[in-house]
Structure 1
């Protein structure tokens, strides 16, 4: 009886192992990119420029449904990214800024969008292709001056999700 039970346990483990290997990483890897230059709020957290919670360890994880206009992408545990009074450093820039996205996993991409308030100031079509390890966009901020918060959005082509990053700028 003991030998039969051992054999059944071994067979069950052998059958279950491939399922766990395939399902495990997919469940763990859930987010994959952010703006690192000029430093986004999550980049400032990761670099210990501003004291933050969980986002410090996973700046690439601000993923939520497409169409949001929040810094946290609707992820409650990253809510501090929405706090404009947290002491975010604003990078001094001219009216044209080069944003650099850093990817830890590259999803096929519909487009990238940049907003100041409710106004979309730029969009870049990615044609459904996976990006290289880094992507840069030169964005004209138009007539915006002074301290501005830019929301950068990376819209994924093969899911209903997007990645979000807010960047604080001093435009002058």
Structure 2
């Protein structure tokens, strides 16, 4: 048997499922993409592959485990799960219509895209859990089980919030049992000084 071929097969088996690369939210820039851009620093491996945040579908019942939502449950991207008031760069946002753009490196057949937001009063200094987010998406876009272009933009009505919040974008694939999970650190105009975190 060809030993180099065996070694290659073993190496391929050891690669994470996400190694083929897929997609990320490029505007407003997701946490992982801001690592690639150098806006967020000390991010670890995600800076080279922000498109690889893949986990089982089914959010919120399924998907990545609590406290590992930002990393999509990947140990190699665990730096993304650190959560404090000041750790991550925030993009300014207003309530109402906003555009969210996904950039794909592999544009899979798509079931849908869904967007969730943290609840008023969520803990900004604790790792993200399902309890941090509203259980119902504020925006859902049907993928119609078709293959999207390499970049798509969705116009969504973002609910009103104050100060620092997180938006979770879920891209549910139609030809696998997985989805892609991206968190966006955003900052709304604050109604009070206490809400400016």
2:19/2:52 contact within 8 Å kept: no
User: Match for residue 55 of structure 2?
Assistant: 64
Aligned equivalents of 2:40, 2:19: Cα separation in 1:
25
User: Match for residue 102 of structure 1?
Assistant: 103
Q: Which runs of 4+ in 1 moved over 4 A?
A: none
Q: CA deviation at 1:145?
A: 2.9
1:163 is aligned to 2:180: yes
1:31/1:63 contact within 8 Å kept: no
| TM-superposition CA deviations, 1:120-153 (whole Å, max 9, x none) | 2111101011110101111211222321100001
Q: CA deviation at 1:62?
A: 0.5
Cα distance change on mapping 1:78 and 1:29 into 2, 3 Å: closer
Aligned residue pairs total 156
TM-score (norm 2): 0.71
Q: CA deviation at 1:29?
A: 4.3
Aligned equivalents of 1:28, 1:168: Cα separation in 2:
23
2:18/2:53 contact within 8 Å kept: no
Cα distance change on mapping 1:130 and 1:149 into 2, 3 Å: same
Higher deviation after alignment, 70-79 or 124-133: 70-79
| TM-superposition CA deviations, 1:32-71 (whole Å, max 9, x none) | 1000111101111101111210001111011111122611
Structure 2 residues without counterparts, runs of 5 or longer: 118-132, 190-197
Structure 1 residues without counterparts, runs of 5 or longer: 1-11
